[in-house]
């Protein structure tokens, strides 16, 4: 995923394979939360 902001481009790699490590979704949500400023608990309702 790529996001453009005033401070530049932000990239986040999201695995496309069927099985992922159990901590990967939490890591992805943490990175999205930090880059958007949204609380991590709010992210699932926005999907």
Q: pLDDT tens, 12-25?
A: 888 888 899 999 99
| Whether 40 contacts 33, CB under 8 Å | yes
Question: Does 26 have pLDDT greater than 90?
Answer: yes
- The shares of helix, strand and coil residues in the chain, as percent rounded to the nearest 5, are 45, 15, 40
The percentage of the chain sitting over the pLDDT mark of 90, rounded to a whole number, equals 36
The percentage of the chain sitting over the pLDDT mark of 70, rounded to a whole number, equals 100
Residue 30 is predicted with a pLDDT of 92
- Closest C-alpha among 31, 27, 41 to residue 10: 31
């Amino acid at each position: 995923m790529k996001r453009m902001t005033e401070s530049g481009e932000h990239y986040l790699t999201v695995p496309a394979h069927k099985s992922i490590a159990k901590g990967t979704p939490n890591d992805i949500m943490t990175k999205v939360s930090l880059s958007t400023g949204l609380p991590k608990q709010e992210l699932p309702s926005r999907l």
